[in-house]
Copies of this chain bind each other. A is one copy, B any other.
Amino acid sequence: MSSSNTQIVIAALPKDKLDESHFSLREVPMPEPGDGEVLVKTRYLSLDAANRAWMQGATYKAPVVAGEVMHGMTLSEVVESNHADLSPGDIVECSSGWQRFAVHKPKELGKIEVRGSLSNQLSIFGISGMTAYFGLLKCGRPKDGETLVVSAAAGAAGNFVGQIGKIKGCRVVGIAGSDEKCAWLTDDLGFDAAINYKTTKVGKGLAEHCPDGIDVYFDNVGGDILEAVLFQMNLNGRIACCGAVSQYDTGNPQAGPRGVPGLIVVKRLTMQGFIVSDYFAEREQASDEMAEWLADGKLKVVEDIIDGLEHAPRSLIGLLHGENFGKRMICVG
């Protein structure tokens, strides 16, 4: 086994756009597990737009601090255990961050039964699939025949949101950042329509593709797109607030959308924020249902896997610029 550990640290917090100069790579000695602790090896590192939000200060977790190992969700394998509940070879979810090895207390690890491929534990059965499943079904509550709009529709959660929306009988309209993504959503994933927000006015696109208005909006982006959607929501519509990626990679987040709270009142809208882990008590049955849809060919899994921990900085930056189709992750080893 390696005698050193590779880490990527935040050299300096970004004041505006994130770039590679904000990261640095270092080799440190292998950590050693103490009494009751476990040494894990990172197999896959999840890259998520929220990683950038963590650099803006406290969110639902501690903020990222300069000089620290960059935070991140990982899928890891136990290599050495000083605790009876865990054995070498066990696969666990944890937040080891951007490094090859880490020592954890057992309570920081979630042991999982692997379904499908290992990487599937970060996509369909992991944070992106579960975010889509719970956010859409618990907060969006789509009904057969309703119109569902999802932003960042080609992203990790968004593509599942649209696919689940189709399974639930909705008209599904995606918003994404390129014609190639839009074509992928409609041609490969079965979306009814897709709007390229970089070349089309979103309000105009929505008016064209949502002739009966919008009943459910799964919002990954906030900002101007949320504002445009608000004006076309139907009475009693639901907005699942999953993220605000339009506001993450900046030092100067914009004001909120016009129409808040005026349109929320007159249209009796519900906007509900959520974090996927709030629903993990129901994760097993959600995974069973997702597995069934996958087996029946109703759901496609798209993963964007990049090899090599050293590529994590440019891969996260690329994700913030909308490079990825589906769930982006780093195969660490």
Residues of A within 8 A of B (CB): 53, 59-60, 219, 222, 226-227, 239, 241-244, 247, 253-275, 278
The answer to whether A273 touches B270, judged by C-beta atoms less than 8 angstroms apart, is yes
A273 surroundings in chain B (CB, below 8 A): 261, 263-270
In the complex, what distance in Å separates the CA atom of A123 from the CA atom of B247? 43
The answer to whether B278 touches A261, judged by C-beta atoms less than 8 angstroms apart, is no
The answer to whether A266 touches B219, judged by C-beta atoms less than 8 angstroms apart, is no
- If A272-B270, A273-B269 touch, does A259 touch B261 (CB 8 Å cutoff)? no
Could you tell me the distance in whole angstroms from the C-beta of A262 to the nearest C-beta in chain B? Answer: 5
A267 surroundings in chain B (CB, below 8 A): 60, 273
- If A256-B258, A257-B256, A260-B222 touch, does A265 touch B242 (CB 8 Å cutoff)? yes
The answer to whether A260 touches B270, judged by C-beta atoms less than 8 angstroms apart, is no
**Pairs of residues from A and B, 4 with the lowest C-beta to C-beta distance, nearest first:** A256-B256, A256-B260, A255-B255, A264-B273
Q: What is the total number of copies of this protein in its complex?
A: 2
The answer to whether A256 touches B253, judged by C-beta atoms less than 8 angstroms apart, is no
The answer to whether A260 touches B262, judged by C-beta atoms less than 8 angstroms apart, is no
User: Which of A255, A261, A263, A266: most chain B Cβ within 10 A?
Assistant: A261
The answer to whether A257 touches B260, judged by C-beta atoms less than 8 angstroms apart, is yes
In the complex, what distance in Å separates the CA atom of A53 from the CA atom of B262? 9
The answer to whether A260 touches B260, judged by C-beta atoms less than 8 angstroms apart, is yes
User: Which of A53, A59, A227, A260: most chain B Cβ within 10 A?
Assistant: A260
In the complex, what distance in Å separates the CA atom of A226 from the CA atom of B260? 10
The answer to whether A259 touches B262, judged by C-beta atoms less than 8 angstroms apart, is no
Closest to A260 in B: B256
Closest to A268 in B: B273
The answer to whether A261 touches B59, judged by C-beta atoms less than 8 angstroms apart, is no
A270 surroundings in chain B (CB, below 8 A): 270-273
The answer to whether B255 touches A241, judged by C-beta atoms less than 8 angstroms apart, is no
A226 surroundings in chain B (CB, below 8 A): 260-261
13 pairs, A vs B, C-beta closer than 8 Å: A53-B262, A219-B261, A226-B261, A255-B256, A255-B257, A256-B258, A261-B273, A263-B273, A264-B273, A268-B273, A268-B274, A268-B275, A270-B272
A247 surroundings in chain B (CB, below 8 A): 262
In the complex, what distance in Å separates the CA atom of A242 from the CA atom of B53? 31
Known: A256-B256, A256-B261, A271-B271. 20 other contacts (CB 8 A): A59-B266, A60-B266, A222-B262, A239-B261, A241-B261, A241-B265, A242-B265, A244-B261, A244-B262, A253-B258, A253-B262, A255-B255, A256-B257, A260-B260, A261-B273, A264-B271, A266-B275, A267-B273, A270-B270, A271-B272
Could you tell me the distance in whole angstroms from the C-beta of A148 to the nearest C-beta in chain B? Answer: 17
